[in-house]
Amino acid sequence: MIRNKKIWLAVVFLLSAACMVQPPAFLTPGPKVTNHPAPAFTVDTSPFQNAGCGVSPDYQPCEATSALGELGCTNIRDTSPLLGGLNPAYPMVYCLSRYQRSADPPDPALFHRACLTGQNYRLALSKDGQIQLVNDLAELQAAFAPIETPDEALSYSLAATGLEAQFGYQVDRTFRYQMKQIEDTHVTVTDTGYLVNLYDGYLCGCGPHPYNRVDVTVTREGQIEIGKRQPVSEDPKMDGLCID
């Protein structure tokens, strides 16, 4: 009888200890994921291939005497193909110019990317054989509003914010998750326009580096409202990473 009681107490002790120990990440249930198909958009960059800069996914320096250089573009780079839903479907690239975050205020731009050195992001459009810059949201509205379809709303929200779309998300069991339900980018039609769920994975500073969801409201007139960042996940391997 005493022996059975000791065994029972040992089992209770082991179960209690197990409850206090956090299970490995690969044993914990991951978030629920809802996937959506990515639209098959493309963006024409051919008018910029001989413009004195070159075009690639990476930054391409512009000659100061080139048409883009004279417009203030120090570099150009491809946009995401997902900007191909804009109407009219102008050929386009990003026009970048640098500024020192610690010293110079940024120039007018659609959005900025900055650690120690900042980049102003504008759009360069090829329109009627001429290169035209889209410097800010007002000029983006003038070029593309009204926003009449969900496809246009997706592309417009990406162009205006510099955030990214997420498609085909898969759970990584080594990550820390703050969000229990993750949904790929999609567009919801509202009474005043559209709601687009985008994501922000821009790396700057020292870890941890959260991956965030950001909901963006787009009106049919082309106004933008950026919601608060909602933490989705963190990669523990990047906790000690510092990026200037």
Q: Is 205 exposed, middle or buried (0-12, 13-18, 19+ CB in 10 A)?
A: exposed
Tell me how many helices (H) and strands (E) the chain has.
Answer: 4, 15
Query: Cis omega (within 30 of 0) on the bond before 236?
Result: no
Q: Which of 35-44, 63-72, 78-87, 184-193 is least confident?
A: 63-72
Please give the structure tokens belonging to residue 159. 């162009």
Question: How far is it, in rounded angstroms, from Cα 110 to Cα 104?
Answer: 17
Q: Is 41 exposed, middle or buried (0-12, 13-18, 19+ CB in 10 A)?
A: middle
CB half-sphere exposure, 192, CA atoms < 13 A? 10
Helix (H) / strand (E) element for 130: namely: strand 130-134
Q: Are 209 and 238 in contact (CB under 8 A)?
A: yes
The residue extents of the domains of the chain are: 28-39+148-244, 46-78+88-145
How far from chain centre, in Å, is Cα 53? 25
CB atoms inside a 10 Å sphere around CB 57: 9
Give residue-wise pLDDT tens across range 17-30: 444 444 554 556 68
In DSSP terms, 200 is beta-bridged to 212
Report pTM.
0.84
Give residue-wise pLDDT tens across range 3-52: 555 445 454 444 444 444 445 545 566 899 999 999 999 999 999 988 88
Which has more confidence, 20 or 152? 152
Question: How far is it, in rounded angstroms, from Cα 230 to Cα 238?
Answer: 19
Nearest to 189 by CA among 225, 230, 165, 153: 153
